[in-house]
A = this chain, B = another copy of it.
Amino acid sequence: MAHETSKDAITEDEIAGTAPTASSSASPARNAFSALMAPKRKAAPPSPKPAKKKYNKDMRDGLDDYILHPETYSSSRVIYYGSAFVAINDLYPKSSVHTLLLPRTEHKDMHPFDAFDDPAFLAAVREQVKKLRHIVGKELQSRYGPYSKQDIPREKVLNGEVEPAEDGVLPVGRDWDKEVMAGIHAHPSMNHLHVHVLSVDRYSECLKHRKHYNSFATEFFVPIEDFPLAKDDERRHGHDLKQDMKCWRCGMNFGNKFAKLKEHLAEEFKEWRKE
């Protein structure tokens, strides 16, 4: 079950939570002002490069190719893979770091509520989640450590401002793994079973409307720790993604004011980094 190929590289760009695909064609530098209104260049490329995408007849099968051909993806997309699991960066991250754990085994097509009734499978997933959580945690430390109060002693050693300990071990610093949440959606949008493993910030350009937010900020999101789910657990059925939006960090209620929430999340993100 374990024994995954080690390919942990997460590149800045892909995981940045900015634009999904960066089809970068460095355009010839022209004087911006002279080109202002009507670019006089003769043959401008007629349309944006089609983002090289795999064809799926059902959009709900968008994750299938990752478990079928994980080796065909860049290390910025597929974080690691093994015989039983593939870990990827979400194509449309809803937090600044947002990964998915995809099982390659027979449980993959089941609803997670049912799949996690199998204790062996659940145990295997938990092990992978722990691993992936740590990868995400290290990424957070790498990005936000320089802003973190708890990481100051560690950063000082890293910066050479303070001598390392005799044993060469860095100060531990902030427990970034604790800033990572892992779970599944009560009503998954993709057929293939996927566990979301993401930073708690919910700070991303790809988070664009209420359902995006609430699917990671209400009971719609079921933490992996809560499985196996009781038969009468309410989350097996009802879910209301149209409910008021509330800040994950301070609880402030934004009603249906998504734009206001987004502003607020940017502020909370900066405060959160500082902890």
Q: Which residues of B contact A267 (CB under 8 A)?
A: 22, 24
Complex interface bits, A22-56 against B, C-beta within 8 A gives 1, otherwise 0: 11101111111101110101001111100000000
Complex interface bits, A235-275 against B, C-beta within 8 A gives 1, otherwise 0: 00000000000111111111101001111101110011011
**How far, in angstroms, from A257 to B23 measured CA to CA in the complex?**
14
Given known A200-B36, A219-B37, A272-B32, contact A252–B45 (CB-CB < 8 A): yes
**How far, in angstroms, from A53 to B36 measured CA to CA in the complex?**
34
Of B28, B181, B251, B268, which is within 8 A of A33 by CB? B181
Given known A252-B44, A255-B47, contact A19–B271 (CB-CB < 8 A): no
Determine whether A178 belongs to the interface, using a CB cutoff of 8 Å to chain B: yes
Q: Are B253 and A179 in contact (CB under 8 A)?
A: no
**How far, in angstroms, from A217 to B255 measured CA to CA in the complex?**
35
Q: Which residues of B contact A223 (CB under 8 A)?
A: 36-37
Using a CB–CB cutoff of 8 Å, the interface residues on chain A facing chain B are 18-24, 26-33, 35-37, 39, 41, 44-48, 178-181, 200-201, 217-219, 221, 223, 246-255, 257, 260-264, 266-268, 271-272, 274-275
Between-chain CB contacts (< 8 Å), 26 pairs = A19-B263, A22-B267, A26-B271, A27-B250, A29-B274, A31-B178, A32-B178, A32-B179, A32-B200, A32-B275, A35-B251, A36-B200, A36-B248, A37-B221, A39-B246, A39-B247, A39-B248, A39-B249, A39-B250, A41-B250, A44-B246, A44-B250, A44-B253, A45-B250, A47-B253, A48-B260
Instruction: Known A-B contacts: A35-B248, A45-B253, A48-B257. Give 8 more (CB < 8 A).
Output: A21-B263, A23-B263, A29-B275, A37-B219, A44-B246, A45-B251, A47-B252, A47-B254
